[in-house]
Every structure is written in structure tokens, then in C-alpha cells.
Structure 1
């Protein structure tokens, strides 16, 4: 190669020009050997400081070429090509900016990176904005079948460039010192532009919705155990058991009795429990409850009997149990005839027949009192009964009994008192009957309406009547009877005196039970027991209740 950079056409031509005496001599070299350093010094003197910096970079890579073992003596052609490339780089450095050149053989193989002259640093750091340049949209392409989009090529990882021998080691890695690996596609450089001002917030824009945590569910309220302004005095649970003897274990009664059934269109619930006062004093339950079914199928008859022994008498619970047992036996022996009368609606036959059965029961109670050597009024009980047919087509409900208690019906959310009304003895009024000793009867016997006397007064003294030293016994309890037709949704409630009195005396009790039983479904046994034992201050007697829910 000549010092002017002319490339010979052939190798022989190159040697001819170098040693031809007719060629003009350009001047001998300063050093005996023509090396890269000599050429660098020549280029630095010619280009100045800026060009020298660029040439320094390229000269460093020339030394790198010597380091990897490119020997000029072994391959003269390769050495000639290397010299030519160096001249091209020096010529490019003399220009105003970086000039692209073809890659050398070692660069094409990926052995060394391509180094360009660094651009001058800007006065202020530019801001990268993703806004694309305004380019007119291209014309729409003709419609064609959709083709799968090529998968995007991920940018190649950046690798640092090798450091020249004369460069000091860098303090930290600079991203500008890296280049993509060979064969990778360089991503497009970001567009430098002035940052756009941030848009002002729109006051009309709705604020972001912040999820509101759900409010905690309120704790379930404690079940109501009493009604009224304050709780009852006695404890709500049993505290003492009744005393008994070893020979009288069969006379014990449980504190609470619970029963139920379902026949035809009605559901039956029955419960009997000791009162608060009896639980506190350790007295037995005076109320007795009997639930029995006679027969089978649609012709079956269900009897529910409730009896309450006389208050403050010994063995009151025994008389109540005897009354229930004897009335149950009497109805059981006549259940076929009673069932036919109920299904046929024969009110007269039912009333007279049940009256006779009730009288026989009380006759047995008086006989039992005589056996025990006690007065009849001490060994007696009030008796209330319900007769229910198991026939689904029969909705006649029959009530009968003697003594205190209650019969109620819940219809359309309101209570109705169905207790049959009985006239008081003082309210009985009527004309005197001839021959019974009234003043008018005596006058009628002595004279006619015209004033004529039929007999004369002989002034005969009448013998005195018998002397009665004992008080006159109270008149017996009248017999009560009622037959009614149930409607769907009705609730019939038969109770003893212990529950009938608070229902009539405390309206809050009836309101609470009506609210609990407003549902069409009847309560379960445990729920029904909880409803019946709802306490009221001032009422501490035994409670017995029989409920019938009509479907």
C-alpha cells in the first residue's frame, strides 16, 4: 500500500510501484518500521485534537488486532486489507461526523463491537415521551384474509464493550457502553421532545368509588322469657323436688310433660309444667295432662284432657290424674259412637252423651273421696277436654268440661275467648211457679181474681222446718259444651287456670304469643314449650296448654 492510500490492482503491481525508481518519492517514514502508532501520529498531526480522539479509538482497536494474533508476515493479503481499512477510518475521522463503513471480517463474525465517535452531550437532559411523530396515515390496504401477526422480537440484552489498553477502568457500568449481541434487532431509539404539560384534573369527574366494608351483623337478641315491666320473683328453673315415700313412688308426677301429633288437617301440641311457686316450695304439679287416640284410620278419635286439682288440698295431683284417667276410659269405650256424631255434626246427641260421661267421672271422684275418708270438695278437680276426629274431611272441634280454665282461638292475628258464658245465680229471673210457696201462689190459692176466698183461715200453726246447722254447700259446677268448625289458619288453645288467668289479665302475653304463632307452620315441641312457659309477674300457678294448628 502506498502512503497516499491507493489500493493496487494486484500484488505484483503493488510491489512494482513501491520499488520502481521512476515513481515519485513521497518521503521516507520517521520510524524504520511502518506501524499503527506511526500512522496514528501522522493522522493526529493532520486532523487535530478532535480527529485524534477518534483516531485514538480506532488505533486502540488496531492494537487489539495485533493482540489477537493477526501476523503481517504470515498473511500479506490480510495485512494489506487491514491497512486499507485503517486508512478509511482515518479519512472518515476527518469529516464532520460519524460515517458508516462496511464491517471487517472480524466484526462480521462478532469478535469485536463497532465503535463510533461519541456525540456531544446536550445542554439539558431530554425527556423521553412516547408520543409518536405526526405522520399522515397510510392509505387503507385492500381487504385480504387475516394473517397471524408475527411475534415481536424481544430486545437483545446489552453487553459492555471491551476497554482499550490506554483507557482507565470505568467506575461503574454505563448503558451507553453496551451494544446488542450479533444477529439481534436494535430497538428504535426513543424520540426526544419537550415534555407535555400534565392535564388539569376535571372537577366534573366522579371521585373513585371507595369500597365500604359491610357493617357487622347485629348479635341476635336474647329470647324473651317474661312479659311485663319486671321479671317474676321466683326463679325460672326448678329448685326443689317434692317429697315422697318409698311405698308411694307410683304417685310421683314429672315437672314437665310434652306431647304432640298430626292428624288430618291439624297439628297438635300439648305441654304441662309446674308453676314457679310449686318449683320453689317443692310441691308436685297439680295439673294433669292426657293425650290418647282411640281407633285407627279416618274413624280414629283423639282425646286431650286437662285437669287441675283443688288448691291447698292434700293429694290434689292425684285427684287430677284420676279425673283424666276416668274420662279417658269413658270416651274410649264410646269412641265409635262419638266419632260418628262428630263427623255427622249431631250437636244435641254429643252434648247429652258427653254430659253423662262427665257426670260418671265426677261420681267416681266422690266415691274415691269416700274411700279415703275425705270430703268430696277436697278430692275433686276441674276438667277440660277436646275431641278431634282424624278424618281429613272433618273440621268439627268439640269442647266440653266442668270447672275453671280457658278456651281461646287465634284468628287473623287476634285472640277470641270461646269460653261458654254461664249465668250467675243472682241473675236468674222469672215468674213464680204455682205451688212453690211464693206470695202470689198463696194468694191465688186463697182467693179468686174476683176476690172470693176459696178457703178459710183456721189459724192452724204449721210445724217448724228442719234445723240446718252446717253451711249450705255451693252449687255444683255447670257443664260446659261447645262445638265449632275450624277454618284454615286458625289456632285453638285450651288452657288450665294457670295460663287462662294471665291471658285474660295481661294483654302483653296474648300479643307476644300471637306474634310468635303468626307463621303458618306450627312450632316444634321445644319451641312450643318455650312459648307456653313465657312468664308474667304475679302469676305463678301450674300451666297446661293444648294448641291445635289448622292447616
Structure 2
């Protein structure tokens, strides 16, 4: 039985065409394609009509370049454009002072390497602390420097804030230390220096608080010298245990003692090594770091100095009238000695006392715009909040990329 006779026209092509489109006119039988290539060409033309070619992909959006650092005068400017130190909700980024942006980025880039078996050795990028006792407001922060953030190195600065005792008899200690540059374990040495001086002050805080209230300057100086000497001596001993030279496991140590008694306005500074002690009074910065010429304290044992010897100690040479032949060797140079620094001063209402590591002391001394910026910020608004204080000490200056650690005390 022939299937061709079952279709209305006798051709399958026309029958399917009529079923697909009833309105299509009857044009008669279509000529069959001559070759197989013609069949494929015809099918390709149909596909082009029913399925248009896809559009060319649009070019990828251009990623904008990161914004350049903003000058501090713009970051902290108010709506009128005046750098008055008032933060606005839209303020973002870390500003800078000086004639050009710093070399490194403002935000952290690379994390320090971690040891899975010694995670306690990790140092956070930033530490922030604050308190208020009587009429004094304390703000303290330690921030990893731009250079360390870029290279993935740990923060070499350490910060300790501690209160010993209760009530008006309490004594607040702020200790900051900086490990030796380019030395392995510098951050550990700084942390240990803070911990040991904290332990020594904490065990003697009652006597120290009494001496501060009674203004016994001589007793304070000799007592704090002994505590510092003992603490940094332990650091040298630990260096020997680690098989390191003393200068490879050393730290600058600077401390501030603040009585909690509101009737006592004496503030005591002591320490060894580099850094700064400043006072902002009546809109002017005063560098009150004790000068070496004014410091009568002996070099501190444990910070490059030799242990003291009693007058009758055994000597290697004795005058017996025997001629000593010249030695072919030059005597070894003595290790560098840093004197013990001490200062006790009476605070006035409106004063701001700033203790800082070299990372902030150097730009404060070398970049006048930074001091001017902090004056505008702190003289108008008084003690800032913790976040605002952190932003203040992070204002950068080109050429200064070390860790920054600072403690500031506002007096009401």
C-alpha cells in the first residue's frame, strides 16, 4: 500500500507546510534539492532566519585605579572645608601630611608568617586601649608600620597598660617597647621587656604610689632605676639562653606612671632608649624628653652596659714594677651605653602628655604639619574616642614608615 496516496497533495513537504501554516498560499510543489550540499545550505539558511547570530560580547568594564591617599586636611575637614578636627560620617581612609603621599599603602597588605605550632607568637596589627581616672583621660595605641605591613613583618613595638591596686591608691602603668631593627624575635624582646617591667612595678606599686604622692623624687628615681635595670638584665640573660648577642635581643623601654588619686597631678616618666616625650600646652608642643646632659642616672645594666663593680673588685692589672710588652691586639670597644632617663612633672588642667616610640617621635620632630594637625584635632575636641585617637596617630608622612606606639593623657 502506497503511503504517498495518504497525503492531500501527494508530497510530504507540502503537507507538513500546510499543517505548520494554514494561511500559506499554495504555490505548488517545491523543487527538490539537486545535491546533498544544497540540502545543507538550505537548512543553514533556515537556521540563520529562525536563530539570529549572537551579538558580539560587550567589552569588560574597566576597573578604576585605586584612589591616591588623601591629605589629612581633607580627610578631617568639615562641610565648610575647614580642617577643624571634627570627623564627619563620610570621612574614609588614612590621611597624610607633607608635600607628597607616602611610599607604601595606608592599609595592611601581607600578614606575617605563622608557625602552626606556635600561634601564640603572632602579634596583632593594631592594639587600642583607653581609661579615665579622676580628671585624666588615657588613650593608647600601637600600630604596625607601613613598611612592616608591606613586607609581612610582625609589629616590633609592644604596648602594656595595667592598673595595680584599687581606688585612689591605684597606680596605672603604661609601658611601650621597641625591639631591635632587623633582629630575629624583635617583637618577642619588646613584649618581654614590657612584661618584666610590668611585673616589677606591680609588685612595688604601693611604695611607688606613696613616693609619688609625697613627691620623693630621689627615691623614685633610684627605685625605678633599679627596677628597669633588673628587667632589662633579664632580657640579656634570656638572649644568652637563646644563643644570641645582647644587641640582637634588646629593646628600648619607655614607661609612664599615673596615680589614680585625683588630688595627685604628678606624672612620672622613666625608661631607656629611643622615643619621645611631649607636652601639648596652650596650643604649643613642648619636647620634654630628658636630655642626656641632664640625666644623672648611670647606664642601665642589660642595655649595653657592663655590670657595676665594687671599688675593691679584683683587677686584671697590678703595678708590680714589671714592664708589660705591647699587645698586638687592640682593646675591644665597649658596648654602647644608654643612660637611664627620668622625669617627674606636675600636670596642669588642659595639658596633653604624649609618650611615644620613635615611629611617632621622629615625624613629630621632623614634620611640622603633623604637630599642627594633632594640635587642631586635640585642642578643639579634647580627649578623642578610641577610634578617633587611632586615626589621629595613623596620619602618615613620607619617609616615616616604622611602627607607631603612643599613649596620650588629657588633663581636665
- Relative to the length of structure 1, the TM-score reads 0.53
Residue number in structure 1 paired with 2:192: 322
Residue 352 of structure 1 deviates from its aligned partner by 0.1
**Matched-pair contact (CA < 8 Å) for 1:327–1:358:** yes
Q: Are positions 1:373 and 2:243 aligned together?
A: yes
Residue number in structure 2 paired with 1:360: 230
Name which of structure 1's ranges 219-228 and 494-503 shifts more when overlaid on structure 2: 219-228
**Matched-pair contact (CA < 8 Å) for 1:489–1:520:** no
Q: Kindly report which structure 2 residues correspond to 1:313-462, keeping only aligned pairs within 5 A, or say none.
A: 313-423=183-293, 462=323
Residue number in structure 1 paired with 2:125: 255
Q: Kindly report which structure 2 residues correspond to 1:136-535, keeping only aligned pairs within 5 A, or say none.
A: 225-423=95-293, 462-464=323-325, 468=329, 471-519=332-380, 521-535=382-396
Higher RCO structure (Cα 8 Å, ≥6 apart): 2
Q: How far apart, CA to CA, are the structure 2 residues paired with 1:354 and 1:218? A: 50
Residue number in structure 2 paired with 1:85: none
Secondary structure of residue in 1 paired with 2:291: coil
Residue number in structure 2 paired with 1:549: 410
Shift in CA distance, 512/371, structure 1 to aligned 2, threshold 3 Å: same
Shift in CA distance, 218/347, structure 1 to aligned 2, threshold 3 Å: closer
- C-alpha distance after superposition, 1:40-73 (max 9, x if no partner): xxxxxxxxxxxxxxxxxxxxxxxxxxxxxxxxxx
Secondary structure of residue in 2 paired with 1:519: helix
Q: How far apart, CA to CA, are the structure 1 residues paired with 2:219 and 2:403? A: 34
Residue 244 of structure 1 deviates from its aligned partner by 1.8
Secondary structure of residue in 1 paired with 2:376: helix
Residue 473 of structure 1 deviates from its aligned partner by 3.2
Name which of structure 1's ranges 408-417 and 463-472 shifts more when overlaid on structure 2: 463-472
Secondary structure of residue in 1 paired with 2:210: helix
**Matched-pair contact (CA < 8 Å) for 1:503–1:509:** yes
Q: Structure 2: 5+ residue runs without aligned partners?
A: 1-78, 82-87, 295-320
Residue 477 of structure 1 deviates from its aligned partner by 0.8
Residue 385 of structure 1 deviates from its aligned partner by 0.1
Q: Kindly report which structure 2 residues correspond to 1:78-117, keeping only aligned pairs within 5 A, or say none.
A: none
Please tell me whether Structure 1 or Structure 2 has the larger radius of gyration of its CA atoms.
1
Q: How far apart, CA to CA, are the structure 2 residues paired with 1:394 and 1:466? A: 59
Residue 520 of structure 1 deviates from its aligned partner by 5.5
Residue 465 of structure 1 deviates from its aligned partner by 6.0
**Matched-pair contact (CA < 8 Å) for 1:289–1:307:** yes
Q: Structure 1: 5+ residue runs without aligned partners?
A: 1-216, 425-459
- C-alpha distance after superposition, 1:388-424 (max 9, x if no partner): 0000100000000000000000000000000001139
Residue 532 of structure 1 deviates from its aligned partner by 0.4
- Relative to the length of structure 2, the TM-score reads 0.70
Q: How far apart, CA to CA, are the structure 1 residues paired with 2:240 and 2:91? A: 52
Residue 218 of structure 1 deviates from its aligned partner by 6.0
- C-alpha distance after superposition, 1:225-254 (max 9, x if no partner): 000111101000000000021122111110
Q: How far apart, CA to CA, are the structure 2 residues paired with 1:369 and 1:465? A: 35
Q: How far apart, CA to CA, are the structure 2 residues paired with 1:464 and 1:326? A: 47
Shift in CA distance, 218/383, structure 1 to aligned 2, threshold 3 Å: closer
Q: How far apart, CA to CA, are the structure 1 residues paired with 2:410 and 2:388? A: 14
Number of residue pairs the alignment of both structures matches: 301
Q: How far apart, CA to CA, are the structure 2 residues paired with 1:543 and 1:471? A: 35
Residue 469 of structure 1 deviates from its aligned partner by 5.3
Q: How far apart, CA to CA, are the structure 1 residues paired with 2:353 and 2:328? A: 50
